[in-house]
Structure 1
Amino acid sequence: MTKLDPAFLTVPLAHRALHDVADGRPENSRAAIRAAMAAGYGIEIDLQLSADGRAMVFHDYQLERLTGESGAVRQRTADQLGEIGLTGGDEGIPTFAEVLEIVDGQVPLLVELKDQDGILGPNIGALEQATAEDAAGYGGPIAFMSFNPHSVAEMARLLPQVPRGIVTDGYGAEDWPLVPAARRDALREIPDYDRVGACFISHQASDLGRARVTELKAGGAHVLCWTIRSPEAEAEARKVAENVTFEQYLAPFPA
């Protein structure tokens, strides 16, 4: 099994990089990435697919929340997305390749591949291929993860030397309205951990008391968590989790 670089367990991970629009640093922006690096934090980013098959660093499926444009990310080319300004900043949407050049191995980079079919099913492949092409030969600490175990399994096939994990959740119906109940029930118990060759999970912070999380940790799985927004929440999460993905405050570095 590919092992997680120890840096992912010792350096707090800035959720969607160290973003703060009040300071001109939108989430997943180059500015937020550079700020995280300057502070010495690890970085968590998200990938979506462009119309021309490029991996783009952007969280949402739609453009509305984070830009002045509307419509799906998947309907625009990488060049078009690069020209769309991120709200609260002065730059466009970056490609994954650009971000890899910026980070250049200086801090750990945790990369979430967003589900592309809406139901966490097997209709995947294009984003994984684009991600693997960009990351091939990258020399710094990097790890891939996804809510969709099919995506994680595909990354295991494409880049078996890069550690991978599953983003995990309590899968409440209100948070996953498009995912069938049977699929949510199955995913809640994290059945694919061994099958995909994972070495970590990143679990919903409010659900860290789940028995399956305890079981996986006892079996050697590293447990990260998302998303922590206060020192108090971090202290509680660290009773189970080895590291946190944080935003809205500056997480302290472990002594």
Structure 2
Amino acid sequence: MSVRPDAHILTARPFAHRGLHGPGISENGMAAFDAAIAAGHGIECDVRASRDGVAFTFHDADLQRMTGQPGRIAAISAAALDQMRLPDGGAIPRLSALLARCEGRVPMLVEIKAPGRRVAALCGAVARDLADWPDAPIAIMSFNPHVLSCFARQRKRQLRGLVVTQQNKGAVRGRIERALALWLGRPDFLACDIRDLPSPFAAHARRRGLPVLSWTVRSPADHARAARHTDQIIYEDGA
């Protein structure tokens, strides 16, 4: 990635939330990612790390819902995770395997699931995988501004997005949190909760030139709202 890309490259196609999953196709599984590629859409995926620091595409901290196995993904080795199966029978993909499948041609949003301040290990695992695809249309994003700050230090040209929601927060608390997150994370784009739109915060960001994506778009009403107030959608099938 010799030149820092323009974040507006992320607005060309819709992104399938956790891949294009549905009946018989598990979220964040390779079949869901293949379906998104076949549809000509971008891919949004969640990433967590194994005990030994390998990045996997997986949403939950706990393995039970998607594998039927007890335990936290952070406590399991990569070799053991490779043997587990999602409901559709597929393996839990390593991020490196998904990147190889996309071959640098498919837009990707990699949401890093790292609460708190101790984010360096997971960010490092993701950064190592992304290093093999320096010119691919890929952005990292997170609710956690410390993730964005970490990437700003170790992978300066990587596009970075801040994921935000106002749900279950008071107006004052939300404003303070967003202001601090923007200051710390210095994002290139925002991914806003569709339930919060229209939003003065999102409108102000667009006026400043930051692209705004919306998640998770699931209905025709969501789709219409996103079309009025954002630059692109992160959707689930049915939208």
- Asked if Structure 1 and Structure 2 have the same fold, meaning a TM-score greater than 0.5 normalized by the shorter chain, the answer is yes
One-letter identity of the residue aligned with 1:238: A
Aligned counterpart, 2:232: 243
Aligned counterpart, 1:162: 158
Deviation at 1:247, TM superposition (A): 0.4
Deviation at 1:214, TM superposition (A): 1.8
SS in structure 1 opposite 2:162?
A: strand
One-letter identity of the residue aligned with 1:93: I
Aligned counterpart, 1:113: 112
The answer on whether the counterparts of 1:2 and 1:199 sit within 8 Å (CA) in structure 2 is no
Deviation at 1:203, TM superposition (A): 0.5
State the Cα deviation string for residues 24-82 of structure 1 (Å, max 9, x = none): 32001011111110110000000011111111110011111111112211111111111
Is 2:145 aligned against 1:149? yes
User: Structure 2 vs 1, CA of residues 3 and 191 (structure 1 numbering), >3 Å: closer, same or farther?
Assistant: farther
Which structure 1 residue ranges, 5 or more long, are not aligned?
175-181
Deviation at 1:19, TM superposition (A): 0.7
After TM superposition, the score normalised by the length of structure 2 is 0.91
State the Cα deviation string for residues 97-147 of structure 1 (Å, max 9, x = none): 11110111221011000023xxxx322211000000111131320001000
The answer on whether the counterparts of 1:226 and 1:246 sit within 8 Å (CA) in structure 2 is yes
Give the percent of matched residue pairs that are identical in Structure 1 and Structure 2: 35
SS in structure 2 opposite 1:193?
A: helix
One-letter identity of the residue aligned with 1:149: P
Aligned counterpart, 1:126: 121
SS in structure 1 opposite 2:67?
A: coil
Which structure 2 residue ranges, 5 or more long, are not aligned?
none
User: Structure 2 vs 1, CA of residues 8 and 221 (structure 1 numbering), >3 Å: closer, same or farther?
Assistant: same
User: Structure 2 vs 1, CA of residues 163 and 72 (structure 1 numbering), >3 Å: closer, same or farther?
Assistant: same
Cα separation, 1, equivalents of 2:233 and 2:185: 23
Matched length: 236
Cα separation, 2, equivalents of 1:7 and 1:141: 7
One-letter identity of the residue aligned with 1:213: A
Aligned counterpart, 1:13: 15
After TM superposition, the score normalised by the length of structure 1 is 0.86
Aligned counterpart, 1:30: 30
Alignment RMSD? 2.2
